[in-house]
Amino acid sequence: MSSEMTACCTPLTTDPLTADQAELLSHRFKALGDPVRLRLLSLIASHQGGEACVCELTAAFQLSGPTISHHLRVLREAGLIEGQRRGTWIYYRIVPEALRSLSQALHPTAVLT
């Protein structure tokens, strides 16, 4: 979607968000609004080589495989991670640009003029 460029870089503290920008950003923040998904993201990002396979991620939680798969899908559809199949296993890695855009959106710059 092309509105990604317009919503990615301006801190939301400097100008009021448009409804479209808010829709895009909230979709991503909603994906981060679950403790399991945050830990998945953190596990993937901090894993050796910057990627982790689903089997390793599933083993880190006391949750069923389908549940982990569901959370990975939410993160993937929010553009926060990407999956790549290599042989039998699927490896996930984060999309740094997505995290960076969210980080910048929250940057509390120039709040008091």
Partner DNA sequence: GCCCTATTTTGACGACTGTCAAGATAGAGA
Partner DNA sequence: TCTCTATCTTGACAGTCGTCAAAATAGGGC
Subset of residues 18 to 47 that bind its own copies, contact rule: CB under 8 A: 19, 22-23, 25-26, 29-39, 41-43, 45-46
Per CB under 7 A, 68 contacts DNA: yes
For 72-105, give one letter per residue: b (16+ CB within 10 A) or e. bebbeebbbbeeeeeeeeebbbbeeebbebbeeb
Binding residue (CB under 7 A) for DNA from 71, 78, 94, 98:
71
Using CB under 8 A, count the residues that bind its own copies: 40
Tell me whether residue 88 or residue 96 sits nearer to its own copies (CB atom). 96
3-state DSSP percent of the chain in helix, strand and coil, to 5: 55, 15, 30
Binding residue (CB under 7 A) for DNA from 3, 23, 33, 107:
33
Q: Which does 50 bind (CB under 5 to 8 A by kind): its own copies, DNA, none?
A: its own copies
Query: CA triplet 86, 29, 104: central angle to 5 degrees?
Result: 95
Which positions lie near DNA, rule CB under 7 A?
A: 30, 33-34, 36-37, 53-55, 58, 62-74, 83, 85, 87-90
